[in-house]
Amino acid sequence: MSADLAQLVTSIAQRARAASLVLATTPPEQKNVALTRLAELIESSHETILAANVKDLAAAESNGLAKAQIERLTLNPARLAQLATSVREVVALPDPVGELLDETTRPNGLRIRRIRVPIGVIGIIYEARPNVTIDCAILCLKSGNAAILRGGKEIFHTNTAFAALITQALEHAGIPGDAVQLIPTTDRAALNTLLKLDQYVHCIIPRGGESLIRFVAENATVPVIKHYNGICFVYLDKAADAELAEKITVNAKASRVSVCNAAEQLLVHREAAEKLLPRVARALLAKNVQLRCDAASAAILEREKIALTPAVDADYRTEFLDYIIAIRVVDSLETAIATINRDSSAHSEAIVTADEKAARRFQAGVDSAAVFWNASTRFNDGFEFGFGAEIGISTDRLHARGPMGLRELCSYKFLVDGTGQVRG
């Protein structure tokens, strides 16, 4: 059984590799024909998709999944309409493939051009969000990559229905159906095989909880681009404007608590703490955010009779994904930077200050993917950054860091034109 699975997955990967070589030189118009057809098929296939989704929902209920999880699995006509719209948005984006990145002519006359090309075959390992199936398929296709999708068992029927539409759309455009394949089993043995197929698969992107990503990183020989979640900081500098401090902290923490770019940690400069903390704390409390305080911040808030919880050590390295924030008072900008570099997940951090010099030092010294000055960490996002689409937010430092759009799904190659040059 396990040998059969390994053979099945190897065959999927081999066919994906063959399709990727075709896709690499498929013209933009042809890829857009497939994408446009997919949008139409999503619109005309509500019944089929929702019927498949109902099967997954029934299984989810009988398996006792939590309400929030079931909510995440659930499709409805409005969500499907939105999905079709997002496919059309990708049609409208510029094709990244073939873009000239740099060009040089060497003293010996060799003309060297570096051009953007697809990576090749990308494996996406994800959990139970059905939109990921469509999002990843269309971004890989637009960027000329073959995709191998392996979703969670909770959305297996929905994914199978989507995969059938994708295949139809590809074939309608004359693109090999193998360009996007769903692994037709959620058996762990199939995943284990995929993670080792570095001969055919060039990149794995795991999307989901930390344990999934860690499992993939530990077991893959295929290069992995990790999308861990965020332990993001807001730092209120000595020179922070009180209104901005409140507005940015509340937005970073409470506008959406379940996402990776939400703030989990608040640092306040000692010289500004008396002035800023009570105001910011009251605003957070008004949004039902629990405040977990160190001794210094607790002392200030207690004097003002503001409700708080004493923090424990683990709070300072926790991604709460909840209406909770950990608060510390720091002695200096440098302490803030050092604290962030030690305790953050290097995802998104913000400084609130009117002092440009402090902001520049913070942006230089903080070693995170995105460092904000007087703006919310919540903006770390491919759409907000103007990429038009994103496959996720990389927490790696190699290849892509921060939001990954179409360009970040590409590699490059060198084209070298000569007139008979040989090396001495």
Residue ranges binding its own copies (CB under 8 A): 21, 24-25, 104, 106, 110, 112, 117, 119-120, 198, 202-203, 217-218, 221, 223-225, 241, 243-244, 247-248, 250-252, 255, 341, 359, 363-365, 367-376, 378-380, 384-386, 396-399, 401-402, 411-424
Residues 173/37, Cβ–Cβ less than 8 Å: yes
Question: Which residue number, 160 or 374, has a Cβ lying nearer to its own copies?
Answer: 374
CB of 67 to its own copies, least distance (A): 26
**Residue 394 in tokens:** 């990389």
State which amino acid sits at residue 165.
L
Question: Which residue number, 40 or 384, has a Cβ lying nearer to its own copies?
Answer: 384
Residue 10: name the closest of 305, 403, 61, 2 by CA: 2
Residue 154: name the closest of 71, 217, 222, 223 by CA: 71
CB of 15 to its own copies, least distance (A): 14
CB of 403 to its own copies, least distance (A): 8
Q: For residue 73, give every residue at least 6 positions away whose Cβ sits within 8 Å of its Cβ, in sequence order, or none.
A: 53, 56, 57, 60, 65, 128, 129, 130, 154, 155, 158
For the four alpha carbons of 83, 399, 212 and 160, in that order, the dihedral sign comes to positive
Residue 359: name the closest of 345, 349, 347 by CA: 349
Question: Which residue number, 110 or 312, has a Cβ lying nearer to its own copies?
Answer: 110
Q: For residue 182, give every residue at least 6 positions away whose Cβ sits within 8 Å of its Cβ, in sequence order, or none.
A: 133, 149, 150, 151, 159, 160, 162, 163
CB of 5 to its own copies, least distance (A): 21
Question: Which residue number, 6 or 112, has a Cβ lying nearer to its own copies?
Answer: 112
Question: Which residue number, 120 or 151, has a Cβ lying nearer to its own copies?
Answer: 120
Q: For residue 40, give every residue at least 6 positions away whose Cβ sits within 8 Å of its Cβ, in sequence order, or none.
A: 84
Residues 409/241, Cβ–Cβ less than 8 Å: no
CA angle 315-210-130, nearest 5°? 125
CB of 161 to its own copies, least distance (A): 32
Residues 212/228, Cβ–Cβ less than 8 Å: no
Question: Which residue number, 287 or 303, has a Cβ lying nearer to its own copies?
Answer: 287
CB of 164 to its own copies, least distance (A): 29
Helix (H, G, I), strand (E, B), or coil: what is residue 184?
coil
CB of 51 to its own copies, least distance (A): 35
Question: Which residue number, 270 or 385, has a Cβ lying nearer to its own copies?
Answer: 385
Question: Which residue number, 159 or 251, has a Cβ lying nearer to its own copies?
Answer: 251
Provide the edge-to-edge strand list for the sheet that holds 309-310.
Answer: 309-310, 290-293, 324-330, 263-269, 232-236, 348-352
Phi, psi (deg, nearest 5) at residue 300: -65, -45
Question: Which residue number, 147 or 225, has a Cβ lying nearer to its own copies?
Answer: 225
Question: Which residue number, 128 or 213, has a Cβ lying nearer to its own copies?
Answer: 213
CB of 93 to its own copies, least distance (A): 15
CB of 56 to its own copies, least distance (A): 31
Burial call 38-51: b when 16+ CB within 10 Å, e when fewer: bbbbbeebeeebbe
CB of 194 to its own copies, least distance (A): 15
